[in-house]
Structure 1
Amino acid sequence: MSAPLDHVLAGLPGIRQAAEDFYKDLHAHPELGNDEHRTASRAAELLRGWGYEVTENIGTTGVVGVLANGDGPVVLLRADMDALPVRETTGLPYASTVTVTGDDEQEHPVMHACGHDVHVTCLLGFAQLMASGRDAWQGTVIALFQPSEENGDGADAMVDDGLADRVPRPDVALAQHVLPYPAGYVGVRRGSFLSAADSLRITLYGRGAHGSMPQAAVDPVVMAAMCVVRLQTIVSRELAATTPAVVTVGSIKAGASPNVIPDTAVIELNLRTYDDATRQQVLDAVRRCVNAEAAASNAPKDPLIERLNAFPPTVNDADVADRLDRAFRTHFGDDAHTIDLQTASEDFSRIPETLGAPFAYWGIGGIDPGTYRAADERGTVAQDIPVNHSPAFAPVIQPTLDTGITALTVAALAWLGTDAAG
């Protein structure tokens, strides 16, 4: 362990209980994207108390804390704050019972089912350690708390609201995510890490008729069924076997009666790719396949293809990832790994790309190690270990929080520590 890192991390035992208490409270009070007012306010209050210069309400509820500590690199670290419309089934004593009224005037449950409560807690823990250990490092820390990652619009909202004019230009940007790996695990990789994601809604137009007279109709249900089958050939027949991609049709909606052929059918799908060329190839193929099926069915109108949301690919800078890998392996030893390619998606990269900073993103584990080990030995990890967005997803508090706070500190001090190289 380096002397600066040793010095800063010496404060971890003293903040551990407060971090755990904060995490439980945050988990019990989740907020959906662009509505993270309580979370943002608590983060801003704590940052101010530790001496950070704080700016609130960037891109709705975004918060930035800046701690300048002499000459040196500027390091930006980001956590996302939003929760999901999921009903929690963990049974935890601090489980969420929060519901909100949606635009449809219906009550919807809310849960931190993706671990963003871990991210916020760890970044705040890191921010406190860095503030109390200023004599061990030089430079500037930017702690950024982002809204609405799940909707894919939070990073853009902060950028569009003038983020670049509100913070120093970072030399590097860093972020992490808790994942269904054993708690204590830390993993980074160079190059492609998280996929791009595009969600599409496709409306297929037919001609309605009585179910007993199909000859009078152009059946959009059959059209939709043929589209679903054809779309599955994009990955299996148009991409090389070594090119990872996913095409998932998650929703089909058509009609309201068994004896009525409807006028329209709607399918919604999600695409995952890892580079811009493959992404465009798959998007073009979707459009071609859908239009061709509509033409084959003699549809009276071309399909309407709408993009619901889009996430960029997360591609780690090789030099940044290599420096993190060295730092993680030095500190975490056998718990540091080269993490697998992930099919999840993120909008984090839009922030460093806009600010002109190289970046890297890594994963930490959140599953009880014994539980994970037992499932691994049975060969049932996929079946028995809840994943992000599951109503049963519940990272164990420790060593997850200690690992996350430590990983952020190790990463930042790879640039800011007084003995940092490179």
Structure 2
Amino acid sequence: MTPDRRSPAAGPRPERRTPAPALPGLAELLTPAAELYLYLHRHPELSGAERRTAGRFADWLTVDGYRVLRDVGGHGVAAELRNGDGPAVLLRAELDALPVAEDTGVPYASTLTAPGPDGDTVPVMHACGHDAHLACVAAAARWLAARRDLWRGTLLVVGQPAEETLSGARAMLEDGLYGRITPPDDVLAQHTAPFPAGMVAHADGPVLAGSVTLKVVVEGDGGHAATPHLTADPLLAAAGVVTRLASVAAREADPAERLVVTASSLRTQNAGHTGNVIAARAELHITARAFTEAALDRAVAAVRRVVHAEASAAALPPRATVTTIMRSGVTLPDPELAAAVRDAHRAHFGAGRVTGWPGSTATEDFPLLTGAGAGLHGHPHIRGTYWMLGSTGPAQWSAAPGANAAEKLRTLPANHSPRYLPSVRLTLQSGTSALVTAALARLGKGADQCRPER
């Protein structure tokens, strides 16, 4: 998941409240949480290969008294802790990393490589903050398990595999996730982003866009570069598609839809790696992102039309096929649940550290875990909310180019960058607090009733 470069937005001015004291015992939790984070950061695993990460997370939850299920939908982890009557609240984090070569320069940087999807060896890095998400959820789960007098209900914790490929949530649900644990009433999640650590951001509407990823395959018979007139050229048609894609968003969509259509990769196969051979096959990946399903459907139809038009325009037309390989829904928080969590965050952090979020064209499979995935799990009334978590520390903020906050936000390394690096202490502290206060807002006495231990 990659947040776009739009800045967190100032929302309506909230009622001013005195921030609640720090959660009791949180300071003691930060050391083991940081140790977990550093281990995960040094040992990232790609989507679908998160065995070591899942085992470490499951072991942590087992120590804290949770009933833990392993290998759900792949390497997924699901845990449950019952504490009397009350709602069931699920905290979700992701397990997987990305095929990115880390360039942060920190002593705990990842140097690992792993087999990629095509069998080649690729570098691996937690370039999207999933290691921080997992450490925050682990710490929040431990804090809540140790303070059952503060809440009532059922606490559920999920470590989801394969979020980056938008396949993990579906796999867990199809493996019977909500039949093997108590079905949640509410699902909560957060995501790091490059704005000041210690802050959280909430959207008034969609947090993240829905997306469709398409694979376009253009096939000819191959041929000699000296006689292109005798060959159906897949590369020429694929290149034409790439240049035409910009017109889909620019000329076929209302600008208010914020439609994004991007060609993300183009590869030739069957001897298309030398100057004197025309490839027999070109493969192109295209992603479309929008905030309504209707806009996505129109974008897919437009891409299909462009692909077939470019192929048919040649004197010797290559064969073209378009296949949908991934689709995710819009991450749209339940308004009532989102308001309750935002109020809890304002009460705990103070109004100045809770800001607005303009909605990002990044995407997630998180909606499947809520009522949006009812067709998969049979529970249409599960509510969800999702907020953004600042991850940029003071030193990185000061070093970022720019004369003001807006300019700095545009230059900070973003998620999926080889230089993306959350501030460990501040991100874990605020991320754990955000999850605990959000859970308490639903499970019982509420975060604003927590007081320091005496």
TM-score (normalised: structure 2): 0.86
Residues 298 and 191 (structure 1), Cα distance of their counterparts in 2 relative to 1, 3 Å cut: farther
CA offsets 1:219-255 (integer angstroms, 9 cap, x no match): 3333223222222101000101111111111222343
1:408 aligns with 2:426: no
1:375 aligns with 2:393: no
Matched letter for residue 228 of structure 1 = V
> 2:72 is matched with which residue?
58
Matched letter for residue 331 of structure 1 = H
* Structure 1: 5+ residue stretches without partners: none
2:411 to 368, 384, 398: 384
Matched letter for residue 98 of structure 2 = L
What is the CA–CA distance in structure 2 between the aligned matches of 1:324 and 1:294, rounded to whole Å?
Answer: 51
> 1:225 is matched with which residue?
239
1:164 to 178, 181, 202: 178
What CA RMSD, in Å, does the superposition of the two structures yield over aligned residues? 2.3
1:257 aligns with 2:274: yes
TM-score (normalised: structure 1): 0.92
What is the CA–CA distance in structure 2 between the aligned matches of 1:212 and 1:37, rounded to whole Å?
Answer: 50
3-state SS of 2:442 partner: helix
**Is 213-222 or 238-247 further displaced after alignment?**
213-222
TM superposition shift of 1:117: 0.6
What is the CA–CA distance in structure 2 between the aligned matches of 1:180 and 1:98, rounded to whole Å?
Answer: 24
Do the aligned partners of 1:9 and 1:129 also contact (CA within 8 Å) in 2?
no
* Structure 2: 5+ residue stretches without partners: 1-18, 372-376, 449-454
Aligned positions of 1:300-339 closer than 5 A: 300-333=317-350, 334-339=352-357
Aligned positions of 1:268-279 closer than 5 A: 268-279=285-296
2:361 to 334, 343, 355: 343
Residues 253 and 213 (structure 1), Cα distance of their counterparts in 2 relative to 1, 3 Å cut: same
What is the CA–CA distance in structure 1 between the aligned matches of 2:116 and 2:146, rounded to whole Å?
Answer: 42
TM superposition shift of 1:261: 3.6
> 1:393 is matched with which residue?
420
Matched letter for residue 226 of structure 1 = G
What is the CA–CA distance in structure 2 between the aligned matches of 1:82 and 1:162, rounded to whole Å?
Answer: 21
> 2:197 is matched with which residue?
183
1:117 to 131, 134, 144: 131
3-state SS of 2:360 partner: coil
> 1:10 is matched with which residue?
24
Residues 305 and 419 (structure 1), Cα distance of their counterparts in 2 relative to 1, 3 Å cut: closer
**Is 83-92 or 368-377 further displaced after alignment?**
368-377
Matched letter for residue 49 of structure 1 = V
Matched letter for residue 164 of structure 1 = Y
> 2:13 is matched with which residue?
none
Matched letter for residue 336 of structure 1 = V
Matched letter for residue 405 of structure 1 = T
Matched letter for residue 33 of structure 1 = S
Residues 383 and 244 (structure 1), Cα distance of their counterparts in 2 relative to 1, 3 Å cut: closer
* Aligned residue pairs, count: 417
Identity of aligned residues (%): 40
Residues 62 and 208 (structure 1), Cα distance of their counterparts in 2 relative to 1, 3 Å cut: closer
Do the aligned partners of 1:183 and 1:364 also contact (CA within 8 Å) in 2?
yes
1:364 aligns with 2:389: yes
Residues 213 and 40 (structure 1), Cα distance of their counterparts in 2 relative to 1, 3 Å cut: closer
1:237 to 247, 251, 274: 251
Do the aligned partners of 1:62 and 1:146 also contact (CA within 8 Å) in 2?
yes
CA offsets 1:389-414 (integer angstroms, 9 cap, x no match): 11111101121100000000111111
